[in-house]
Every structure is written in structure tokens, then in C-alpha cells.
Structure 1
Amino acid sequence: MSNAAELRRLVDKLWSYCDVLRDAGISAIDYVEQLSFLLFLKMADERQQNFMNPVQILPASLDISWDRLTKLDGVELEQEYRRILSELGKEPTNLGVVFRKAQNRIQEPALLRKLVVDLIGSENWSSIGGDLNGDAYEGLLQKSASDVKSGAGQYFTPRTLIHAMVEVMRPTPADTIVDPACGTGGFLLAAVEYLRANHSASITPEQRTELSEGRTVRGVELVDGTARLATMNMFLHGIGQATGDPVIDVHDALSTKPGRSASMVLANPPFGKKSSITVVGDDGRGEREDIAYNRQDFWVTTTNKQLNFVQHIASLLAIDGRAAVVVPDNVLFEGGAGEQIRRRLLKEYDVHTLLRLPTGIFYAGGVKANVLFFDRKQARPGQAWTDKLWVYDFRTGEHFTLKQRPLRDEHLAPFIEAFNAEDRSARVESERFKPYSYDELVARDKANLDITWLKDPSLTDADDGVPPEIIAQEIVEDLTAALAEFSAVADALVARAAEVANRG
């Protein structure tokens, strides 16, 4: 059987139980989480039972046995499973990240037994091969992202977009690659795949060890459940040791100044306009919230999460470090703190490329986003680092949906070619790719980077062939985005009114 066929078999088999559990009230993302626990336990048992090279992964003191788990039934099975989850969640290693705050969401013991015996227990996962295991797991994550009710899609960046971003960023074995809002780990894994595909012959033994132990790439994730999915995803792809230091740190990336810098940042920070906290920047301002972050490395104070992530990533980069960050449109045009951040970024960093993304490619509806590329340089007072910002308009006239017309690699191939990662100074202007000088950018009202020049043919030509379902979806996305903006304004007004009332 070919690898592709075996991959489809594994994904279909693992997914086959999802509908059964959904009828029992378990969402797709919860199902993948429960599979993660059981798959980890089964693979750990296989490695420990390996006759030629046994490896003790699970602490012997915890007396965890997959064989015993398969022989239990009913309440005894449920109780033993809960004990295992609780004990492993206390470990200070990658084990602890996978099982941290883990709960058994399968309330029917008979269903749990079917997963243990018929699904996970019927395969020898170690013999299948790491790449297939990892790819099958990625396939499950992608399927779960389409479960709109669970909100799983907010943690899943389209893999086609990730691959294009990594392709133009060209990570090397010497890089330290960080994603401060890593979700299920898509950017980190794409960077690892790029390194393996392009640097396998030149990578040193020390660099190979650093890569496999999870020191070349690292992520930060706020949500425990998502961090465990990312850790499992990395583990199945051969990154990180079960008993080694966590590859994914579980905390709020915005809460503290980065302890270690990164030579490359790849990220799609969470959307949602208003943060639940306040970040106090070096302007000394603070706004009402229950928790305040004192980030003197930030330029301005704002409760806008995306603006704070831009500041965080700028601070996270080492000198000569480079970043590729997905940002919603409001980061490009918002006044106040947004304008101040854009002006500082343009002056102190080399903001060289902006990719305007089409709608319909994200699982979260109503998203209008871009990819902003910028590099950190040594300070040079009196002179701005940004020379030209090249804007690639991949939005105007492009129409995608998640099912009828999904985004594919070939759609972003022209951007990759135009980016010219080999020599950005040799870029060529085209209909969709235009440069804007620093002076032009800062002269724009509020240093607005939401730049358009193309005319959307669908607005003027009724016979352009765009299917009505795509047009309808775009209308829904526009209305959803507008509603989100109005909701954010309403939240801000309510917060401000409460603050005034408290002062009175």
C-alpha cells in the first residue's frame, strides 16, 4: 500500500469514531484531544516493550500499563483512565504539557473501551512510521478545524498559507524559530519540514540534535488544550522528547518580556479586537481591566491584542531577525495606538513586504487578513530602516471558499516567485505587486498601510463568472467582520462607562 493510501486509511479510521462520539455530546476537537491521550499512551507502551531497544517513557513509579487498561471495563476502566490523566499531568516535561489539566470527556465507559481496544489498540503505531503518524494527526486536526461550533478553526492556519510563508522566509538550521501564538503548531512543523527538505545534507550533528530535542523551534500557547495538541503534533513528527523540556510553553506570551530572542518569528496571533487585559507600555498609560501587564519594551499602551502581538514580536526578534506575521486589516489602518506602532515599526525595522489575503481561506468567518514581513536591524538614529514596502494584492478579484474553491499551493506560487527571497533587491513591479517608499507611507493619513489600487472586476462586471454562493459567502464574511468591529466598540464603551461609574 502506498504512503498516500495508508495515510487516507489511518485518517479515515481515526475519524470514523467521531460521529459516534458527537452523538454522545463530544465535539470534534475534544475527540482529537482524547485520541491524543490514548495514542500517546499506546505509542509509549510500544516503545517500552520494544525487544531490541526498550525506552522507558512513562515514569515507572506511576505503574501505568496499556495492557491492563485494555483488560478493564466499565467503571474500573474509567477510574484507571482518570488516574493516568491526573498523574501524567503533574510531570514537568513534555508529558506534563500533553496531559496538563487533562479530563476524560468520554462519559460512557463502553465508548471509551471501543477507542482503547478497537481503534487505538488494534494498530502498532510504532511500525507505521513517524511521518505517517504525524501526517495522519495533521489530517485529524484539519478535519476538526471545520467543526464550527467548537471554535477549533481559530487555532488552525491554512496549511497552504503556512507553506508559502515558510518558503519565502527560508529558515536555516542556525535559526531559532518561535511562534508566540502557536495554536496546533503548524508554523513550527512547516519550518521543520523545510529544514529537513533543504538542509539535510548540510546540517551538523549538533544542529540535528537541537532540532529533534525541540530547541531549534519553540512555541507559546495560552490554551492548555491547544498546547497539548501542538505538543502531540510535534512529538508525532519527531520533535521533542517525551521526558525532555517542553517544546510548547503554556502561558500568555504578552504577559512578560521575552527571555530569549528569536532569529525568526512565524505567527498568526489570535484575532479578536479587544484583549481581556491591559498592557502598559513605555508611555506609562494604563486602561481599565482586571489584569495589567507592565511591558516597558512596548511602544504604546493598547488593549488591542493584534497590536500588542506586533509589539511583542518586534521585541522578540534578535538583531537581523526576521518575522512573518498574519494580521487583520485593522492593524494596517487603525488610528491612535495603531498609527504610533506602524510609524515606529516603519522607522526602526525594515518592513519590506505585505501580502493582502483573500477572504474565504480561514475557518473563522469574517476574517480579512494580511501577512506582514519585517526584519529587525541595528539602530541607526536619524535614518529609517524601511526603504520600500512592496505590497502584493492577492485579495482583489480572488474568490475562495473552504469547500467549493479552497486555496491551493498553485494559487500562492506567483507570490512566492514575486517575493524573490534569493534577492529582494531584484524584485519586479507587476499588476499585483507594487513598491511604496518610506516617505510615501509616512505621508499617508495615519500611516495607513491598507493600500489598494486594483479594481475588483466582480464589482463592475456581472458576467465575471463568480459563483453566486461565493459572492453570498463574501457578503456574510463582510457583515460578520463589521459586526465584530461594532461589538468591540460596544465592549469598549461599556468598559469605559464602568470605569467612570467606579470613579464616581
Structure 2
Amino acid sequence: MNAAHTRRLVAKLWNYCDVLRDDGVSTIDYVEQLTYLLFLKMAHERANRRLNPDTALAGVAARWQTLFDAEAQDLEKVYRETLEHLAKQPGTLGVIFRKAQNRIQDPAKLKRLIVDLIGKENWSSQGADVKGDAYEELLAKGAEDVKTGAGQYFTPRALIAAMIDCVQPGPDDTVADPACGTGGFLLAAHDYIVEHHGLSLTPEQRERLASGAISGIELVDGTARLAAMNMIVHGIGRPNGASLIEVRDALAEPPARHPSVVLANPPFGKKSSITVIGEDGRADREAISYNRQDFWTTTTNKQLNFVQHIASMLAIPGRAAVVVPDNVLFEGGAGETVRKRLLKQFDVHTLLRLPTGIFYAGGVKANVLFFDKKEARPGQSWTEKLWVYDFRVGQHFTLKQSPLRREHLDDFVKCYRPGEPRSNRIETERFRPFSYEELIARDKVNLDITWLKDPSLEDADSLLPPEVIAQEVVEDLEAALSEFAAIAEALQVARARSAES
């Protein structure tokens, strides 16, 4: 029943997106407008329920009623004033409505969205599973809008589920994501804890889980609002309380909190225009720089900086699962420094090589790196064996025709053996261990390790369909162009530095 109800809600809301698209409202803009109006309607419902009304939301509830009652000709002005007022509020309200703007210029269409599509549903009675799943599906649809680049903030939920199953967050953990996008990791961690420990949670653990044990940071205002709303509709946090999503640059300063679990898919793509100054004291030529003495090296590579940041923010003991592009595994210079320090100071125990075609951003070749932080042991390296699971060779997915599903990662999770000693792991065709000595001896400590051969290259009878081959060619070219752009940028910096000296 819940699944059918969810589909009905999503279809009802989504069908109207086609109408608004003709007016120039993009998919992600539509999801944002839904976010504002859903929040207002839910606040109105909570403030006016017969049992235990939420009086703290009375002011927000009144704003919804004003919108609902406004005549079409006055609606645009009332809506704009409502967004401006709520953007100035503290906590969750301020995050969701920060820099909010009305993108629906036709008052009649805005009126229909408010009165017919959202106003006629009782969202608070849906239950967190129905309205949460519906909102997640809306975010997934928004991520498909490739023109806006919204997909870069949306990690495939099947991959998130497998990573959570391996890391196994518990009721006493604090969970954080320093680049949380729309909040997928945070929600999955919350759901895992409730599913596996819900009946045994103490009142204190339940309170922690709802109001601070799970939190995220997001740089982009629009994405942070989606994450904050995503948490609220899933029953995490309070609409009138402190936000569990911070809007800021996670790399700007050393972490103030040290969670026991970090789950993240940091942004891929262009190198950062802001340099981080590490303990080596070097800085590139950009005028703005971060002075992060807790970092091992200076680099403009955002992904390497996020790996350093996550290593710094983890508590002891702590465990992390981080999606990283291939260049983090093989890039020289700062990349080699980061890999050496990570292998020595952390237990880097598992690497999952991901197939192409699972991310909305094209040309992405990525991996998941699992590592633990433990008490220092001087003179010894924490990493003993890195187990590599090759899920890339021979695997072919597309976002629509052949999407990644959770069961595709069953074998990886089985090989990982969550909760068991790693001595119980067994080598398979796709799963192999490499000793610390082997890794350090590799050129530039390159962790981009392969041993399988793609059967489609060996067996003429197993050739891939032309459309799959064409898509892979496109993705390879996009990845190559991205790397060339990074090289060109680095050469420009080097030339400018040389001219200055």
C-alpha cells in the first residue's frame, strides 16, 4: 500500500512539472518550489492538529493560510514576501528558505500548485515512509535534469545502501557527511540504525538520533535546502529547531566535531580555485587560501582535500566510506603523499572499483574507499592488507535501461563480511588482498589496481550492444577531457608562478 501511495503522490506532483517546463521552470527549480510549499503545508498541519499542536510553528502555518487564501492576482507578491520573511529565520527554517525565490511566474499555475496539488493532501498523515520515499523519488527525478548539473549531488541509492550495510552504523555512533548533497547517506544511516536497533533504543539514543547524532555540511544553498527538507520529511530533526544541515564550505577550517562514522561522495569535476595550505607550508598562487595545518599536503584537487579532511575529522576509533574518482588512486605529487600517509596512519582495508553508468554525471570512473582510524602506533603502519573488489570489469549499467540495483552489490557485501574479523575474508575472482609492502612498492603508491580482463574484449560472441559501446566511448572521452582540463589548469598555474619568480 505504501509503495502504491508513494507512486500516486509522485505522479500527481510530477505531472505538473511538464506544464511548468513550458514556462521555463527547470526540473530542479520545480523541486525547490515543491520543497518550499510542502514545508509550509506540513507546518500548517502540525500547528493545527487536534492533539498536541506544534505552537512554535504557528507563524509559519499562518503564512501557508495566507498563501492559500490569496487571490491569484495577489499571489505572486504574497509568495515573494513569505519567502523573504522565512529566509531570515534561524535554524532549519533559515536553511530551507535561504535565498529562496519564486520561479513560477504565472499566478494561475502557482495557485493551482498550492490549492489543488499540495493543499488537497494531508502530508502529515502520510507517515515518514510514504512522504519520505515520495520526496526521495522527486529528488531522483530532479537529478535526471542533466542541464542543471543536479545529478552531481545525488549518489545512487543502491550504492549508498551497500556502503551502509558494510559500515553498519549503530545507535551510539555519530554520523556525518561533509559534502552531503541531498542527504542520501544521512537518511540511509538513520534508517539502518532504526531498522537494526529500533526496538532496543533507549530514550536518550532516540533523542540523539533525532536531533544531532546525524548531520551534514553542504556548500550549495539550493542543495542544502533539499537535504534539510529531506531530513524533515523522513522524521529527522525538527522544523522549528536547529538545522542538522550546515551551509558552508567544509574544507574552510579544521573540523569542530569528530564523528565516529563518515560517509561521503565529495563533488567530482573541476579542481578547486581555492588552495589548501597543508603542513608542508606550500601554497599555490590563488589569492584565497585555506590554512589547514591538519592536512598532509597542499593541493588544488578537491577530492584529495576531502580525503584529507575526512581523515582529520574522524574520531578514534572511527570508520569511513568515501566515493573517490580514479585520479585519487593514481595521481602523483600530492596524490602520492596522501596515499602514503593514509596507508600508514589509517587502516585502509577495502577498495570497491565501481562500474561506469551509475552516476548522473557523465564520464565518472569512481571507487569506494573504506578506512578506519585507530590509536596511533609509532613506527608501524596501520594498513596491513587492502582488499580490492573489482566490480567494474565486465559490468555495464545505464541510468534508465539497466540501472544499478542493490542486489547487484550483494556479492561485494558478502565478500566484505560486515561485522566479522577481516581474517575471515576469502579471496575470489573479483576480490583480492594486497599487502602494505606490495602497495608501497608500486610506482607512486598507485592504488588503481586491476587484474581481470573484460570478457567482451576476448570473446567475439559476447560483444556488447552498440548503444552500450557508444555510451562507454562517450564516458571515456568525457573523463579524458576532464583530466586534460585539469592538466591545462595546472600548466597555467605553473607558468604564472614561473613568470612571477
Provide structure 2 residue ranges, at least 5 long, that are not aligned to the other structure: none
2:298 is aligned, of 297, 301, 304, to 301
Counterparts of 1:102 and 1:445, CA distance in 2: 50
Residue 112 of structure 2 corresponds to 114
2:413 is aligned, of 397, 416, 420, to 416
Q: Aligned partner of 2:371: which letter?
A: F
| Range 452-461 or range 305-314, more displaced | 452-461
| Range 121-130 or range 441-450, more displaced | 121-130
Deviations 1:331-365, CA, capped at 9 Å, x for gaps: 00000000010000000000000000000000000
1:489 is aligned, of 464, 487, 490, to 487
| TM-score w.r.t. length of structure 2 | 0.98
Q: Matched residue of 1:65: which SS?
A: helix
Contact persistence 2:358–2:399 (CA under 8 A): yes
Contact persistence 2:347–2:382 (CA under 8 A): yes
Contact persistence 1:64–1:84 (CA under 8 A): no
Percent sequence identity over aligned pairs: 67
Q: Matched residue of 1:300: which SS?
A: coil
Residue 88 of structure 1 corresponds to 86
Residue 26 of structure 2 corresponds to 27
Aligned ranges 1:20-99 → 2 under 5 Å = 20-58=19-57, 60=59, 64-99=62-97
Counterparts of 1:51 and 1:421, CA distance in 2: 45
Counterparts of 1:70 and 1:500, CA distance in 2: 63
CA separation of 1:63/1:452 partners in 2, compared to 1, >3 Å: closer, same or farther? closer
CA separation of 1:67/1:273 partners in 2, compared to 1, >3 Å: closer, same or farther? closer
Contact persistence 1:273–1:485 (CA under 8 A): no
Contact persistence 2:44–2:58 (CA under 8 A): no
Counterparts of 2:64 and 2:320, CA distance in 1: 43
Q: Aligned partner of 1:263: which letter?
A: S
| Range 401-410 or range 340-349, more displaced | 401-410
Shift of residue 72, structure 1, vs aligned partner: 1.4
| TM-score w.r.t. length of structure 1 | 0.97
Deviations 1:411-437, CA, capped at 9 Å, x for gaps: 100000000012122000000000000
Counterparts of 1:500 and 1:59, CA distance in 2: 62
Compute the RMSD of aligned alpha carbons. Answer: 1.3
Counterparts of 1:159 and 1:68, CA distance in 2: 37
Shift of residue 494, structure 1, vs aligned partner: 2.8
Counterparts of 1:329 and 1:95, CA distance in 2: 38
Residue 275 of structure 1 corresponds to 272
Deviations 1:71-95, CA, capped at 9 Å, x for gaps: 2134421111111111111111111
Q: Matched residue of 1:18: which SS?
A: helix
Provide structure 1 residue ranges, at least 5 long, that are not aligned to the other structure: none
Residue 140 of structure 1 corresponds to 138
Q: In the alignment, does 2:347 pair up with 1:350? A: yes
Shift of residue 387, structure 1, vs aligned partner: 0.4
Q: Aligned partner of 2:50: which letter?
A: F
Q: Aligned partner of 1:181: which letter?
A: A
Q: Aligned partner of 1:231: which letter?
A: A
Shift of residue 63, structure 1, vs aligned partner: 8.3
Shift of residue 294, structure 1, vs aligned partner: 0.3
Equivalent pairs, count: 500
Q: In the alignment, does 2:471 pair up with 1:473? A: yes
Q: In the alignment, does 2:11 pair up with 1:12? A: yes
Counterparts of 2:64 and 2:199, CA distance in 1: 39
Counterparts of 2:64 and 2:219, CA distance in 1: 31
Counterparts of 1:170 and 1:28, CA distance in 2: 34
Q: In the alignment, does 2:364 pair up with 1:367? A: yes
CA separation of 1:498/1:104 partners in 2, compared to 1, >3 Å: closer, same or farther? farther
Shift of residue 9, structure 1, vs aligned partner: 0.2
Q: Matched residue of 1:325: which SS?
A: strand
Shift of residue 114, structure 1, vs aligned partner: 1.2
Aligned ranges 1:446-461 → 2 under 5 Å = 446-461=444-459
